[in-house]
Each structure stands twice: as C-alpha cells, then as structure tokens.
Amino acid sequence: MFLLRSFIYLLFLASVAYLIQLEGFALKQQALYSEHTLTEHMQEGFTLLSCVLFCYASRINAQLKIAALLLATLSALMFVREFDSYLDLYVFDGAWQSIVYAILALTAGYLIRHRGTVYSSLTAYARTPSYGICLSGVVTLLAFSRIMGKGEFWHSVMGENYMRVVKNIIEEGIETLGYALIFIAAVELVLLCRKAVTQQHTALTEL
C-alpha cells in the first residue's frame, strides 16, 4: 500500500510541476507568473483543501485535535493571504488583515481555554509521518522560497539581462511546492486518523 501511495504522490507533484509550466508554454515571453494565474490559483486551492482536511482530522481524533486545529488555522491564514487581492478589491482595502487578526484572536482564545492539552497534542503530532512532511512544506514555503526569490540574487546572476519573470517562476514554483507538501501532510494526517478510528471501532466490536 505504501508503494502505491508513494507513486500517487510522485504523480501528484509531477503534475503540479507540469501545471506550473503551462503558463510558460502557453504565453511564452508574455508569461508573468503574477496574480490571477494558474500557479496562484493552485496555491489558493491547496491552502483551502489543507484547511478543510486538517479541520476534519481534528473532529475525528481527540488526541490530535489541538494540533490539527492549529494546522487548519495556519492553512486558513495562508489562504487569506493568497486571496488578499480579491478581498481588497471586492470587500474593502485591508480586508485580509482584518480576517487574519480575527482568526488569530479566535485561535488564541481557544488555546487559552484548552492550554492543558496543547503540548501533549503537539507532541503526539510530532510522532506522526505527517509532521515531517508538513514541516518540510512550511520551511520550503516560508524560508527557502523567500531566500531563492531575493531580487538581489537574481540581479547579481543576470546583471543587465535581469528578467523579473525568472525570479517569479522560481519563487512561485517553490511556494507551490511548499503548499503541495502541506496538502500531502493534511492527507496523511486524515488517513492516520481514519485508521485509528477504524482500529478503535474494530476493537470495540470484538469485545
């Protein structure tokens, strides 16, 4: 089963890479890799799906509830940030910041009420395969993509031939990989929680 799952993830990430390239193949020198592109929409989709999956995991596993909710919150914040242009345009300027602050306030209040179980839940999550994948995705997204997307680096490499689109492709491509890894981590967590529920049900049936 693990070989099939590995192959599915391989195909998934290969498909993500191909979809990132589609804009370049279609628009060639006119490709910008900025807002309102397929790459950007993939990022939004991955964050939304990750949020939904983490929320689902929190509902079916009491031990991992806090950890899953924190990951759902992180995914929600990422989704709002990626959706900022739409919110500013169709709601009001600065809407995404207001939503972020509201989510953080609600999460902080929840953690305060359940502060006795936060550490144990996070420790339990750190022992799961999902943790390593999620951590890799977060580091890829928040650190690696930012370092590789530094304009000074690309100006240094390309000099007078600097093309912003090259920097955008690298940065947005790595960001999308980070989001995809977090999505895989969410899938893995749901599968783990579903397996635990099934085993618990089986154990109760055998009693």
pLDDT digits (tens, 9 = 90+) for 26-61: 777 776 777 778 888 899 999 999 999 999 999 999
Measured at the alpha carbon of residue 5, what is the angle toward residues 173 and 37, in degrees to the nearest 5?
Answer: 25
Average pLDDT of the chain to the nearest whole number: 89
**pTM tops 0.85, yes or no:** yes
Q: In angstroms, how far is CA 54 from the centroid of its own chain?
A: 11
Per-residue pLDDT for 94 more than 90?
Answer: no
163 or 74: which leads in pLDDT: 74
pLDDT digits (tens, 9 = 90+) for 106-160: 999 999 998 889 999 999 999 999 999 999 999 999 999 999 989 898 899 888 8
